[in-house]
Amino acid sequence: MQHYKVLVVDDEENILSVVRAYLEKSGYQVYVAETGQSALQLFTHIEPDLVILDLMLPDTSGEDVCRAIRRESNVPIIMLTAKIQEDDKINGLMIGADDYIAKPFSPRELVARVFTLLRRSKGEPERKEAVIKFSESQLMIYPDTHNVTLQGEPVALTPIEFKLLVALANYPMKVFSRLELVNQIQGYSYEGYERTVDVHIKNLRHKLGDDPKQPVYIATVFGVGYRMAVMPDED
pLDDT of 89 reads 62
* DSSP strand pairing (176-177 vs 225-228): antiparallel
Q: What is the mean pLDDT of residues 131-152?
A: 91
Q: What is the pTM of this model?
A: 0.53
What's the pLDDT tens digit per position in 49-86? 999 999 889 998 888 999 999 888 889 999 887 766 66
> Quick one: pLDDT band at residue 41, thresholds 50, 70, 90?
very high
**C-alpha separations of 45 from 6, 39, 63, 225 in Å:** 13, 10, 20, 59
The answer to whether the CB of 107 falls within 8 A of the CB of 28 is: no
Burial class (CB in 10 A: 0-12, 13-18, 19+), 25: exposed
Cα(142)–Cα(154) distance, integer angstroms = 11
Q: Which carries the bigger pLDDT value, residue 154 or residue 55?
A: 154
What's the pLDDT tens digit per position in 187-199? 555 555 566 788 8
Q: What is the mean pLDDT of residues 204-214?
A: 91
pLDDT of 91 reads 66
